[in-house]
Chains A and B, each alone.
Chain A
């Protein structure tokens, strides 16, 4: 604990003291000179970012980092992953320890405006949910009066819960854990009746249970949790690179460009696809990148749908449906501005 506090204090101090690379130098130059992107991710979150048995980071959030690497370097593996817990993630970004934070982070007004940070486009529309043991026979959050609820500290979770329950007059006992494993175990062992976090994360928790069928995610979504990558403020070129890397993933799915067919799509007659893939125009140059940047992202990582199915989708242990994370053309919320 003390060492964690020390880290936090150190980072906070560094954030303030260091001639911060953010203001002094463009992040893109620093990244190119260093030869890799430093990307802050979850230490261990199934589906989003976890190290597999060979130590390779897998998951949706890690893939977003790889997409940025592809855009900048034309290779997906020029990323160094920095595992960060919720408590030190923003300080790590402020201080220049990382270049981009891709870590199930909710975009909120005060974070955007008081932390010296900018948010990229939303990569995952999430919402806080509640999960209970099926044996309790609970059907709705309104039945949870007097329940004990297991939480993680330092996220928006705690306040959302109070915002939802207080006006409804529901009293509860909160048990807050710093440690992910203790938090899960306390729930699995019945110390708490309810566990709460973003719905995607609940799926991640359920996926590691002995018997996932034993647990039910209640229908209520008690908050909006738009998860987005984060960069330091006042570096619009770097923010554009991260943002348009995400838009590329989304637009590629919309235009039916996949990892497999991207080479054929170079012959596409569609003007927008031609511009995006760098066949015509010089969109890449406007970002100070190679004109093949978007082609590289898709070729090396796939499109949004492929990323989703690979890490979060119905065939994975998480078994998430697309829900609001569907293209706007299919009734979802994913929408990329035009590539022109």
Chain B
């Protein structure tokens, strides 16, 4: 200890002691307030005879959910119903983020185009989508889908066995079996392998300077695993043909209008934000970089892809993270147009059981957990692009 005095109050003048002391006081305050709230809540709930605890999660939910990626029926527990909701939220968010990123990149670049028509169109797109609340767009897309497409009984058939109606898009599907899942996994492995092979070949090329066509190897890496898996697992090809019933079309795979409206709404709205982020990123790269790349004979497209975008990523990635986060969180607007996401399932659960505090705690935890995961991933990615640029 730096202080030599015997008076303990003198210790307070020591900066290090103070620093520790502040931390201790802050933690004590947070924990204290937390405990007080928890105790108070429990006591009051008991006083008012309001049921508490998470025991209700084991009880049968007793309601159906129209879209589910895992086996679920009304006899399953509330916990499983919530899981269905979480998966639906993740599913639509992931697709929305992919859509938004692709569109955002294209529009962002178009915004900087030297073609005045194109850049004006991109500007209009961005302004129109950024200045109207998402909820209104969701209502708009949903109303359009439901109004423009005919009822199921008069469904259009653009190609045989494919039905388009305001009940959704229905296409034939394979009857799924574990063998199919195996082939799908192998296909994913193929994609990863193809990237690895392409990377290796490129490094080889850079190291040796010998130009050899890379694509046959990449193609082989891409196709080999799924082909092998198909031969080994022998998945049978039973097609699930859509069949017109009295009301609905059964069989096949259905993309519901609720999902489509939500995906389009989320995707378009956040793509406008991402377009602006991309534009800012590209503008942040100095003109000298363009001129330098041109002087070594790169074409505009190549300059963008190989020189400018990698540098712009440094600027783009951090705000992109928050854009992804809000896309994910905004998916909770789903309930307004009938997509069964976590919030909808959770609301129903809270209403049937009356246990709102637990319900809110669950979806706060889920949203918090998911948001933190997205942030961590994006931070990792950010660190990577930042290092490349060093």
Task: Determine if B151 is an interface residue (Cβ-Cβ < 8 Å).
Answer: yes
Contact B347 A116, beta carbon cutoff 8 Å = no
Beyond A2-B329, A233-B49, list 20 extra A-B contacts (CB 8 Å). Answer: A5-B360, A12-B356, A13-B41, A15-B356, A16-B41, A90-B354, A111-B354, A146-B250, A148-B247, A153-B335, A153-B351, A154-B350, A158-B63, A162-B64, A162-B74, A174-B65, A175-B256, A193-B152, A193-B247, A233-B48
Provide the residues of chain B in CB contact with A15, threshold 8 Å: 44, 48, 50, 356
| The residue from B44, B51, B247 contacting A114, defined by CB atoms under 8 A apart | B51
What are 24 A-B interface contacts by the 8 Å CB criterion?
A1-B135, A2-B329, A5-B332, A5-B343, A8-B350, A9-B360, A9-B364, A13-B41, A16-B41, A23-B47, A114-B353, A115-B50, A145-B246, A145-B247, A146-B245, A153-B348, A154-B347, A161-B63, A162-B63, A175-B338, A177-B336, A177-B337, A233-B48, A233-B49
Contact B47 A13, beta carbon cutoff 8 Å = no
Task: Determine if B340 is an interface residue (Cβ-Cβ < 8 Å).
Answer: yes
| The residue from B44, B62, B146, B350 contacting A163, defined by CB atoms under 8 A apart | B62
Closest chain A residue to B258, Cβ basis: A175
| Chain A positions 305 through 337: 1 when the CB is less than 8 Å from some CB of chain B, otherwise 0 | 000000000000000000000000000000000
A145, B66: Cα distance in complex, Å: 15
Contact B351 A147, beta carbon cutoff 8 Å = no
The 4 closest A-B pairs by CB, nearest first: A154-B351, A190-B151, A116-B48, A12-B356
A-B contact count (CB 8 A): 169
Contact A1 B51, beta carbon cutoff 8 Å = no
Provide the residues of chain A in CB contact with B63, threshold 8 Å: 158-159, 161-162, 174
Contact B142 A182, beta carbon cutoff 8 Å = yes
| Residue among A20, A111, A166, A176 facing the most chain B CB atoms (10 A cut-off) | A176
Given A16-B44, A233-B49, A176 and B348 contact (CB-CB distance below 8 Å): yes
Task: Determine if A140 is an interface residue (Cβ-Cβ < 8 Å).
Answer: no
Provide the residues of chain A in CB contact with B356, threshold 8 Å: 8-9, 11-12, 15, 90-91
Task: Determine if B189 is an interface residue (Cβ-Cβ < 8 Å).
Answer: no
| Chain B positions 132 through 155: 1 when the CB is less than 8 Å from some CB of chain A, otherwise 0 | 000100010011001100011000
Contact residues, B311-353 vs A (CB, 8 A): 329, 332-333, 335-338, 340, 343-344, 347-348, 350-353
| Chain A positions 170 through 213: 1 when the CB is less than 8 Å from some CB of chain B, otherwise 0 | 00111111110011011001110100000000000000000000
Provide the residues of chain A in CB contact with B147, threshold 8 Å: 189
Cβ distance B51 to chain A, nearest Cβ, rounded Å: 4
Task: Determine if A22 is an interface residue (Cβ-Cβ < 8 Å).
Answer: yes
Contact A153 B167, beta carbon cutoff 8 Å = no
Task: Determine if A87 is an interface residue (Cβ-Cβ < 8 Å).
Answer: yes
Contact residues, B338-381 vs A (CB, 8 A): 338, 340, 343-344, 347-348, 350-354, 356-357, 360, 363-364
Contact B44 A17, beta carbon cutoff 8 Å = yes
Contact residues, B28-86 vs A (CB, 8 A): 37, 40-41, 44-45, 47-51, 62-66, 74
- Report how many residues on chain A are interfacial, defined by Cβ distance under 8 Å: 63
Cβ distance A3 to chain B, nearest Cβ, rounded Å: 11
A9, B346: Cα distance in complex, Å: 13
Given A147-B248, A162-B63, A190 and B166 contact (CB-CB distance below 8 Å): yes
Task: Determine if B108 is an interface residue (Cβ-Cβ < 8 Å).
Answer: no
Provide the residues of chain B in CB contact with A113, threshold 8 Å: 49
Contact A159 B62, beta carbon cutoff 8 Å = yes
A295, B258: Cα distance in complex, Å: 53
A206, B54: Cα distance in complex, Å: 40
Given A94-B50, A148-B167, A163-B62, A158 and B348 contact (CB-CB distance below 8 Å): yes
Provide the residues of chain B in CB contact with A162, threshold 8 Å: 62-64, 74
Contact A179 B336, beta carbon cutoff 8 Å = yes
Given A186-B146, A233-B48, A114 and B354 contact (CB-CB distance below 8 Å): yes
Task: Determine if B281 is an interface residue (Cβ-Cβ < 8 Å).
Answer: no
A204, B62: Cα distance in complex, Å: 27
A182, B261: Cα distance in complex, Å: 13
Task: Determine if A144 is an interface residue (Cβ-Cβ < 8 Å).
Answer: yes
A162, B337: Cα distance in complex, Å: 22
| The residue from A17, A144, A172 contacting B41, defined by CB atoms under 8 A apart | A17
| Chain B positions 216 through 227: 1 when the CB is less than 8 Å from some CB of chain A, otherwise 0 | 000000000000
| Residue among B257, B337, B356 facing the most chain A CB atoms (10 A cut-off) | B356
Cβ distance A287 to chain B, nearest Cβ, rounded Å: 24
Cβ distance B134 to chain A, nearest Cβ, rounded Å: 10
Contact residues, A62-88 vs B (CB, 8 A): 86-87
Provide the residues of chain A in CB contact with B250, threshold 8 Å: 146
Task: Determine if A25 is an interface residue (Cβ-Cβ < 8 Å).
Answer: no
Contact A191 B49, beta carbon cutoff 8 Å = no
Cβ distance B278 to chain A, nearest Cβ, rounded Å: 27
Provide the residues of chain B in CB contact with A159, threshold 8 Å: 62-63, 352
Contact A189 B351, beta carbon cutoff 8 Å = no
Provide the residues of chain B in CB contact with A116, threshold 8 Å: 48-50
Task: Determine if A110 is an interface residue (Cβ-Cβ < 8 Å).
Answer: yes
A144, B258: Cα distance in complex, Å: 22
Task: Determine if A155 is an interface residue (Cβ-Cβ < 8 Å).
Answer: yes
| The residue from A114, A136, A172 contacting B50, defined by CB atoms under 8 A apart | A114
Provide the residues of chain A in CB contact with B247, threshold 8 Å: 136, 144-148, 193
Provide the residues of chain B in CB contact with A90, threshold 8 Å: 354, 356
Provide the residues of chain A in CB contact with B142, threshold 8 Å: 182
A189, B40: Cα distance in complex, Å: 49
Closest chain B residue to A136, Cβ basis: B247
Cβ distance A104 to chain B, nearest Cβ, rounded Å: 14
